[in-house]
Amino acid sequence: MPDTPLENHARGGSPDRYAVIGNPVEHSRSPDIHAAFAASTNQHLEYTRIEAPVDGFAAAADAFRRSGGRGLNVTVPFKLDAHAYATACSEAARMAGAVNALRFDGDRIEGENFDGSGLVRDVLENLRIALDGRRILVLGAGGAARGLLLPLLATAPAAITIANLDESVARALAELAAPQAGGARVAGCDYRALAGLRFDLVFNATSASLSGQLPPVPATAFVGCKLAYDLAYGKGTTPFLRLARNAGAALAVDGVGMLAEQAAEAFAWWRGVRPRTKDLIERMRSSA
């Protein structure tokens, strides 16, 4: 039975090992983020990068686990593989159909998805914008959008609209979320159906910003909008952020805060201590 993180730290043994696994993975900021968290919380750990072959997730995760690894962050393209690999998944991970953090405890492999809770925490705690009673627009219906829905619904919004190029995918996602909707209206549509509609918060969960593209959201969606949030990060002022600012959004930010907060959630899950994120987010924003 391995030590708990606190026992390991107390006895000054070799550091507990964690890693981010992806392909490619050299761009990942997770090692820097977790090193900062470990320093600020006085945790004794080592955090590295693992680039696994695209068809080799399970073998690479097995090898890391067998060599004593305690947990993994999972990034593109392995979030679905990690979901299949876990022996026990949280409700957020099941709803997302994707896992972005794994914790190893003997033969038990726990899967979590902190993308949505990280985003919600960034909006509520860092940006100090309320979500309850709001009209929310989510652009895209891929992995990140799926991960957002449960945590967003838990904040009791008035309505969530999911817009996607392929309307059938957006509708299917809305149906999947409906049993968890409480009093919120959840609907899926294509971009044309957004004409003339207004929203309090708009989340760009498409991958369009990664290639400098703009999802075809009408400018009217941002009139009176309190927050436009691009999940992409490290891309400067994306076409989405530019449109949102020009069209009247009170605040338009990128996904650095979400990145830091989902990392903090994983760190707390692994180590039992929650790191502070404020300074880190400011540093990452100013160095972007």
The interface region with ligand NDP, picked from 19-27, 171-179, 254-262, 267-275 by CB under 6 A, is: 254-262
Helix (H, G, I), strand (E, B) or coil at 104: strand
Catalytic residue among 79, 226, 235, 278, which?
79
Map the footprint of ligand NDP across residues 93-132, applying CB under 6 A. 115
Burial profile 111-146: b = 16 or more Cβ within 10 angstroms, e = fewer: bbbbbbbbbbbbbeebeebebeebbbbbbbbebbbb
Residue 64 is inside which H or E element, if any?
A: helix 57-66
Q: Is 226 a catalytic residue?
A: no
Compute how many residues bind ligand NDP; rule: CB under 6 A: 25
Q: Choose, by CB under 6 A, the member of 72, 92, 141, 244 that binds ligand NDP.
A: 141
Q: How far apart are the first and last CA of the chain?
A: 42
Q: Which is nearer to ligand NDP, 209 or 277 (CB)?
A: 209
Q: Is 35 in the site for ligand NDP (CB under 6 A)?
A: no
Q: Which is nearer to ligand NDP, 71 or 143 (CB)?
A: 143
**Running DSSP on this structure, what letter comes out for residue 124?**
I
What size, in residues, is the chain? 288
Q: Choose, by CB under 6 A, the member of 8, 23, 209, 277 that binds ligand NDP.
A: 209
User: Residue 109, exposed/middle/buried by CB under 10 A (0-12, 13-18, 19+)?
Assistant: buried
Give the binding site for ligand NDP (CB under 6 A). 115, 140-145, 164-166, 205-210, 213, 215, 231-233, 255, 258-259, 262
Point out the residues that are catalytic: 79
